[in-house]
Amino acid sequence: MSKEQEAIEATIREQTGNESSASGTAENTPYAMIETQHELERLSVVGEGAYGKVYQVQNKSNKEIYAMKVITIKPEEKHFLENEILILKTSKSPFICKMYQCFESVEKVYLVLEFIPGGDLHSYFDKVEVVKENHAKFFLAEILLALEYLHNNHIIYRDLKPENIMFDRRGHIKLTDFGLCKLNMYEGAKTKTICGTLEFMAPEVIKGHPYGFSVDIWSFGVLMYEMLTGEKPFSGTTDAELEKAIVSGKVTLPKILSRVAKELIKRLLTRATGNRFSIAEVKESTFFSGIDWQKMLLQEIEPPIRPCILNDRDVSNFDEEFTTQMVTHSGGKSDTEETMINSFENFDIQLS
């Protein structure tokens, strides 16, 4: 491990936060108890992407519930996986998903994560279409604190979207999926990689210009707009049309938006990066007046919604597109020749 990497991890560990797990506290589910993915029974599919699938799993011995992300290893994408593991294993933010163990086989990596039973924000949008402003203010405040934590640790998220925002059993939010994060973004640093989800991508990213933390603020603005209106601020029938709209199209602010919401969205979705609000300025905006940020950070403010969760194995808050899939169990040569990673420090992470 390089000195630079050690410094990053030390910085992250200095942050404090509430560590929750599938059953309540991280202390109840020490990752050392899980020595192989074969100790976990796969119950349901709860997510899927280009990387692979996410399963709800249960420890066969103590019956604890986790999520397990099964990732097919692609050499050209290894650095994305390494970044994700680094963030998951060192984060102390209450608004970032926790990881308890990781191990690998010849072809796959298995991340054992806390199971977040309330589903994602995308599914919530499908149910309510438009989020009440006082509810949106709460969700957005917690999302902002998650972004602030990452930025304070020199990390650009680059993938803020409803599918990556989960609700825990109390109704607090958790960010997931850190494969596109850019680390080592110290003061004044810029990057040029074009990545993310197009609808939430900042114009400077699309144009291939050097960019910094403000791209997350743009994505936050798109998310806020969608939350309060039920629509995205930019649209197009093709990717090319959507890119053109994001780069040069006009943002229409519907009458449904309050004055303070309109004022903030204008400062979030400005193409002049120098005029785009910083996280500190967003927190001080009129839209967030009355928010006790310290209590919000400590999760002392009651969430406006509490997900309906019948029992520890309940997956009703997840999209049926996933939960109705046949569960594939481990098997094959690549799984049986699994190399366990019993200590996180044994995972060779090289930061770019």
Contact 81, 179 (CB under 8 A): yes
**Stretch (H or E) spanning 136:** helix 133-152
Strands 40-49 and 108-114: unpaired
Crossing angle for the helix pair 259-268 and 214-229, to the nearest 10 degrees: 150
The two structure tokens encoding residue 87: 């963030």
Active site residues: 159
3 labelled binding-site residue: no
Q: E strands within 88-144?
A: 99-104, 108-114
In the DSSP assignment, the letter for residue 308 is: -
What are the backbone dihedrals phi and psi of residue 57, each rounded to the nearest 5 degrees, phi first?
-130, 160
> If DSSP codes are grouped into helix, strand and coil, which group holds residue 42?
strand
Report which of 146, 148, 183 is spatially closest to residue 165, judged by C-alpha positions. Answer: 146
Cα–Cα distances in angstroms (integers) from residue 277 to residues 65, 78, 265, 324, in the given order: 40, 33, 10, 42
Distance separating alpha carbons of residues 293 and 307, to the nearest angstrom: 23
Cα–Cα distances in angstroms (integers) from residue 82 to residues 70, 87, 104, in the given order: 14, 9, 12
Q: E strands within 129-200?
A: 165-167, 173-175
Question: Residue 103: beta bridge partners?
Answer: 110
Question: Residue 112: beta bridge partners?
Answer: 68, 101
Contact 158, 196 (CB under 8 A): yes
CB atoms closer than 10 angstroms to residue 158? 24
Known binding-site residues for ATP equal: 69
Binding residues are 69
